[in-house]
Structure 1
Amino acid sequence: MGLDMGLDKHSKVENERFNFSTTTSGSEQPSSPWQNFKNSFKPALEPNEHYLTTTTKKDERELTDIERININAANTNLQRKLKIRHLQMISIGSSIGTGLFVGTGQALANGGPAGIVIAWIITATAVFATMQGLGELAVTFPVSGGFNLYASKFLEPGIGFAVGWNYFLQFFVLLPLELVAGAITVKYWNNSINSDVFVIIFWIVIVILTNLPVSWYGEAEFVFSMIKILAVIGFIILGIVLICGGGPNHKFVGGKYWHNPGPFANGFKGVLSVIVTASFSYGGTEMIALTAAETNSPRKSLPKAIKQVFFRILIFYIGSIIMISCLVPYNDSRLFGKSSVDATASAFTIAIVNGGIKGLPSVINAVILISVLSVGNASVYATSRSLNSLAEQGMAPKWTGYIDRAGRPLAAIWISDIFGLFALIAAKNDAQEAAFNWLLALSGLSSIFTWMSINMSHIRFRRAMSVQGRDITELPFRSQVGVWGSWYGFILNFLFLVAQFYIALFPLGTKPNAYDFFLGYLGLPVVLVSWLGYKIWKNDWRLFIRAGDIDIDTGRVNIDPDILQQEIAEEKAALAEKSIFVRIYNFWC
């Protein structure tokens, strides 16, 4: 009921927000484009306050925290401006960035060719299962905050608080990191200009992009993702040619680097370290859930975007990893860059140089630069929507949830943009770089915690439906791997935490020490302290919400079950007449 009321209210006013201004006499007059632009920064209408007032009067009681969380998230002022093509590109390209183009180089050096292939495939299965459960939740509950809200709604608010703030920190620190990566990438062409110049240039570009309406974010990511996708596909095709000896030097490569220097760089320990790297590189796949509250027609657009994660993982990540493992030996000295954002350590660039091709390394570095802008743009989107959701849930200062008439969470966006200037400090000297690394360590395990919360939220949602006598046929989209897939994802993500603990305790290439341990595992105590702090603040010591008490109605899309089943039956009948190839494609995409 909550979402229906909020959406109806939005639909009545949304078409009038930018077409008229109210004079002092109360009459409505057409506005100029400049006046519309100025008015767009004014506060949005407040459906939440009106709804809470009427609900409280009706029930004659004060709402509980979880009731307020559910209602506020369902009646957000964010606007549904993202289209299907935007979501498809966001889902495909959201995590294709320096983690793939640069991070795989260090991973190859640590794990060897077999190590990175095994690690990325294992991690891919966990991400696929997690995204399926997330898809079911996001299509059923297209509300503000996504997985952040699901943790509060289906587990308990303390977990939502801890996961939400940790996710915010992950992408909050990512913007200055990407700006530093961009400045380092430019040094490939010109090493004489001060890096701060390029940091400022890239920062201004991202500030402009992030302060435009959300539809512009969708357009920017559409273009960025298209370029990255074409580059990865081109690299895979080129990699096959080079492996078969079709390069300028006509040397057949085959699988010789799997034999010499060998398939594994550091044995089982090396594979574990690469699994940790792989899980970090997939970070961002869950961001599609944050777009749910700003998606036009979530029932049709979100399932396609969610299901395409499988192909992204299979083709872009695994395909690229296989090419790299065959074209670059793990003992190549160029893989050991000075930092995790050093583009000169990109295995993509090294593979092309080894193939004897001139000019293309510059193209790859240009793609890396575009990826920097894309991930920086996406990071501000993630932090602003996460902070806005926390404010709506009463878990952050109310002013940080300010949304203007264009549907932009302006306060949260500006906080994220301003912190991006930390990039000017981060690369100055070793001491400041260490401070930057500690900031990264605060949220170093954020992706894994987020995925685990998604897995458990889906499990608890299905449990609540069962206990409350509801049938899964009510769901507009169902996970293709069901509850067992979420259990698989949860267990595998827990094992990733165990692997990270082992690597943090016994790091590669050095003896056990406190510095490396806390740098790699600081995220866990931060999450625990956040969860405990919320418990003390609210004096709420329940560990979970009982399945019978979970609210599985507020925030749900307004779809009549009978009409839904009729639509699904018609879609299946139409699909049955198609060829086997179309049916297979439709199942996965």
Structure 2
Amino acid sequence: MSYEKGKNPSSLDEEAHSYRNSPAIQDDDRSSSYSSGSYYSESKGGSAFTRFIDSFKPIDLEEDGIDTTNMTPMEKSIIASARHPLARRLKSRHLQMIAIGGSIGTGLFIGSGYSLYMGGPAGLLIGYLLVGYSMLCVIYGLGELSVQFPVSGSFNAYFTRFVDDSWGFTLGLLYATSWLVSFPSELIACSMTIQYWNTSVNPAVWVAVFYVVIVSINFFGVKGYGEAEFYLSIIKVVAVVGFLIVGVCIICGVGEGGYIGGRYWHNPGSFNHGFKGVCSVFIGAAFSFGGIELVALAAAETRNPRKSLPKATKQVFWRITIFYILTAIIIGFLVPYNNPMLLSGNSSEDIVASPFVIAIQSGGIKVLPHIMNAVILVAVVSVGNSSVYGCSRTLASLAVQGLIPSIFGYIDRAGRPMVAIMFTNLVGLLGFLVASENQGTVFTWFFSICSLAAFFTWIAICFTHLRWRWALAAQGRSLDEVAFVSPLGTFGSYSGILILSLIVVGEIWISIWPIGEPASNITFWQNCLSLPLMLVSIIAHKTWYRSWNRIMVKLEDVDLDTGRRDVDVELLKQEIADERETLRQQPFYLKFYHFWC
């Protein structure tokens, strides 16, 4: 970390230690008063309506007595993200369901149809396997950091803290933009899904209905988001498991078409469009897997991250295996990539392109297609809900770090980043473009802004995890004080960076030379606009703040303490050692369960 001239490098450690041991942190009753939603209702009298109105007023916390006069901007951002007053109201059950089914949505239920067409069943499976493994590396590394530092903005704050503030600004902004664009597109997807049953009502009406539903959920704060995702995720998980069971039955000959087996792997074939077809699956897979990192984003709003986050992180392995890999296999057996219904879907928002519905219809099952379509509607609402949550929390984190206007960091007495939520809701009104003939073109260019953003974010998370480990070694500290250690260790982050980097190269290749078309300048910009935007953003930020003299934070200067909820490091070491010794004495099957669950 770069210190101002005349600043004692050890003073930040002293200030951080003072902060961690201050009454604001040690007094659990007071720090949780607003997190339980009772801050304003207990401290203010009046009617229920009055208390509701008061909840929108800014949170009024006592100063922690930290002198920030001589701190660098990065030091201030670390302290600010650690003490940001988001409500800690997410319970373990919320986090578990967010981890298992939180982002299962249009990417899997609908976008997988386009991926199947582009790459064939083998291409779809390979693409999901590669992206799935890289996501496992990402979430394990991110889980290690989030358990250690459950701060506002999570991985966005880690970019600033462990790498560089220009990284934090650029990647945080790209990530927020991804969710920002996703919200109106999910509203449009809701209206398109309804058209499976009703085509007489103007789709803009359905956009309005679901807009009100999603906005209302997020006005209830993180508890509203958590409860909604808990029940919506249960529905999605049950539906996917049910589909897998029905799919196996249809493959074995239960449906009208008789025994299917591996018929479609031979005719029309396992691959479509060759290696380029496999590369084209990656973008679809990114949209399918996108949102898994929301578990870590919710770290600052979780009551007990040290206990609940490791469990939620380990659930991702089962989620990837069951809900993505097995689904890709079943779809590849049930739907040929040249199915006319599949080909008629010309976008990821076209419900007719859902291979789930096509597979069940092909099996001759009359009622299930309607049930599956209802599940798809639930999934779309869920992802729209997550879009508001993910964007608003990222914007609030960027604001509290001083990377965007501070007004976005406004937190009310119920612990809601209200300005960021309202801004996200405002952009969501773009969903009414569904009534326009050119809405497809508009959203194509909107998505081009964040086309590769997911891959850049995931690469940055893996690199940040490596920087965290390197900083521990550089400062003579060990993993003995790390509450949750990634099962894949640094190997996972190295291999994750390698695979994700190769995927980005492949995406650039097929964007310059599209499948079956000559080299296209327009296609390249539509698929890869986020790459030059990222480079321009980093350069502009460094130029504006004149920080070209520092490419990255020095490992010796990385702050390894501020933001912990476990303030006594020695006590934490002893607790971790006791837990590991207890685990070592347990039978093999319990060790196996603990490793994966």
TM bucket (normalised to shorter chain) is over 0.9
- Counterpart pick for 1:54 among 62, 66, 79: 66
- Counterpart pick for 2:393 among 385, 394, 398: 385
- Counterpart pick for 1:284 among 267, 276, 291: 291
Identify the residue that residue 326 of structure 2 maps to in structure 1. 319
Query: What is the CA-CA distance between 1:280 and the residue it aligns to?
Result: 2.8
Question: 2: CA distance between counterparts of 1:586 and 1:546?
Answer: 36
Shift of the 245–296 alpha-carbon distance from structure 1 to 2, 3 Å rule, reads: same
Question: 2: CA distance between counterparts of 1:4 and 1:184?
Answer: 53
Identify the residue that residue 254 of structure 1 maps to in structure 2. 261
Secondary structure of the 2:269 match is coil
- Counterpart pick for 2:407 among 378, 385, 399: 399
Question: 2: CA distance between counterparts of 1:21 and 1:347?
Answer: 54
Identify the residue that residue 416 of structure 1 maps to in structure 2. 424
Identify the residue that residue 380 of structure 2 maps to in structure 1. 372
Does structure 2 retain, via aligned residues, the 8 Å contact 1:272–1:503? yes
Identify the residue that residue 125 of structure 1 maps to in structure 2. 133
TM-score w.r.t. the length of structure 1 is 0.94
1:95-494 aligned at under 5 Å gives the runs: 95-247=103-255, 249=256, 251-336=258-343, 337-430=345-438, 432-494=439-501
| Counterpart amino acid of residue 441 in structure 1 | S
Does 1:36 pair with 2:51?
A: yes
Query: What is the CA-CA distance between 1:449 and the residue it aligns to?
Result: 1.0
Secondary structure of the 1:131 match is helix
Query: What is the CA-CA distance between 1:565 and the residue it aligns to?
Result: 4.2
Question: 2: CA distance between counterparts of 1:418 and 1:568?
Answer: 46
Shift of the 573–118 alpha-carbon distance from structure 1 to 2, 3 Å rule, reads: same
1:504-519 aligned at under 5 Å gives the runs: 504-519=511-526
Secondary structure of the 2:300 match is helix
Does structure 2 retain, via aligned residues, the 8 Å contact 1:161–1:390? yes
Does structure 1 retain, via aligned residues, the 8 Å contact 2:32–2:88? no
| Counterpart amino acid of residue 334 in structure 1 | M
Query: What is the CA-CA distance between 1:313 and the residue it aligns to?
Result: 0.1
Does structure 1 retain, via aligned residues, the 8 Å contact 2:480–2:576? no
Does structure 2 retain, via aligned residues, the 8 Å contact 1:473–1:561? no
Map Cα deviations across residues 459-483 of structure 1 (whole Å, 9 max, x no partner).
Answer: 1111111011111110001111111
Secondary structure of the 1:507 match is coil
Does structure 1 retain, via aligned residues, the 8 Å contact 2:25–2:31? no
Identify the residue that residue 538 of structure 1 maps to in structure 2. 545
Query: What is the CA-CA distance between 1:272 and the residue it aligns to?
Result: 1.0
Question: 2: CA distance between counterparts of 1:588 and 1:565?
Answer: 23
Identify the residue that residue 41 of structure 2 maps to in structure 1. 19
Question: 2: CA distance between counterparts of 1:410 and 1:175?
Answer: 17
Does structure 2 retain, via aligned residues, the 8 Å contact 1:76–1:143? yes
Question: 1: CA distance between counterparts of 2:215 and 2:117?
Answer: 36
Map Cα deviations across residues 463-521 of structure 1 (whole Å, 9 max, x no partner).
Answer: 11101111111000111111121111111111111011011111123222111110000
Greater CA drift, 10-19 or 86-95:
10-19
Question: 1: CA distance between counterparts of 2:435 and 2:483?
Answer: 48
Map Cα deviations across residues 215-250 of structure 1 (whole Å, 9 max, x no partner).
Answer: 121110000100000000000011111111122x26
Secondary structure of the 1:368 match is helix
Shift of the 320–167 alpha-carbon distance from structure 1 to 2, 3 Å rule, reads: same
Greater CA drift, 479-488 or 555-564:
555-564
- Counterpart pick for 1:70 among 70, 73, 78: 78
| Counterpart amino acid of residue 292 in structure 1 | A
Map Cα deviations across residues 21-77 of structure 1 (whole Å, 9 max, x no partner).
Answer: 46xxxxxxx443222212111100245xx34x6323xxxx52101101100000101
Secondary structure of the 2:217 match is helix
Secondary structure of the 2:40 match is coil
Question: 1: CA distance between counterparts of 2:86 and 2:270?
Answer: 50
Secondary structure of the 2:67 match is helix
**Identity across aligned pairs (percent)?**
45
Does structure 2 retain, via aligned residues, the 8 Å contact 1:183–1:198? yes
Query: What is the CA-CA distance between 1:14 and the residue it aligns to?
Result: 4.4
Does structure 2 retain, via aligned residues, the 8 Å contact 1:180–1:427? no
Does structure 2 retain, via aligned residues, the 8 Å contact 1:3–1:75? no
Query: What is the CA-CA distance between 1:404 and the residue it aligns to?
Result: 0.3
Secondary structure of the 1:196 match is helix
Query: What is the CA-CA distance between 1:169 and the residue it aligns to?
Result: 0.4
1:549-564 aligned at under 5 Å gives the runs: 549-564=557-572
Identify the residue that residue 7 of structure 1 maps to in structure 2. 25
Query: What is the CA-CA distance between 1:95 and the residue it aligns to?
Result: 2.0
Secondary structure of the 1:45 match is coil
Question: 2: CA distance between counterparts of 1:3 and 1:143?
Answer: 13
Does structure 1 retain, via aligned residues, the 8 Å contact 2:90–2:223? yes
Map Cα deviations across residues 503-558 of structure 1 (whole Å, 9 max, x no partner).
Answer: 11111232221111100000111111111121122111121111111111111232
Shift of the 545–228 alpha-carbon distance from structure 1 to 2, 3 Å rule, reads: same
Secondary structure of the 2:39 match is coil
| Counterpart amino acid of residue 290 in structure 1 | L
Question: 1: CA distance between counterparts of 2:233 and 2:534?
Answer: 32
Question: 2: CA distance between counterparts of 1:245 and 1:576?
Answer: 47
Secondary structure of the 2:249 match is helix
Query: What is the CA-CA distance between 1:3 and the residue it aligns to?
Result: 5.1
Question: 2: CA distance between counterparts of 1:105 and 1:439?
Answer: 22
Question: 1: CA distance between counterparts of 2:559 and 2:542?
Answer: 21
Segments of 5+ residues of structure 2 without an aligned counterpart are: 1-16
Shift of the 211–482 alpha-carbon distance from structure 1 to 2, 3 Å rule, reads: same
Greater CA drift, 441-450 or 404-413:
441-450
Greater CA drift, 114-123 or 404-413:
114-123
Query: What is the CA-CA distance between 1:433 and the residue it aligns to?
Result: 2.4
Question: 2: CA distance between counterparts of 1:568 and 1:157?
Answer: 32
Shift of the 580–42 alpha-carbon distance from structure 1 to 2, 3 Å rule, reads: same
Greater CA drift, 432-441 or 569-578:
569-578
Does structure 1 retain, via aligned residues, the 8 Å contact 2:159–2:168? yes
| Counterpart amino acid of residue 7 in structure 1 | I
Shift of the 457–39 alpha-carbon distance from structure 1 to 2, 3 Å rule, reads: same
Question: 1: CA distance between counterparts of 2:434 and 2:449?
Answer: 16
Does structure 1 retain, via aligned residues, the 8 Å contact 2:192–2:349? yes
TM-score w.r.t. the length of structure 2 is 0.93
Secondary structure of the 1:162 match is helix
| Counterpart amino acid of residue 434 in structure 1 | T
Question: 2: CA distance between counterparts of 1:145 and 1:346?
Answer: 34
Shift of the 3–444 alpha-carbon distance from structure 1 to 2, 3 Å rule, reads: farther
Query: What is the CA-CA distance between 1:458 and the residue it aligns to?
Result: 0.7
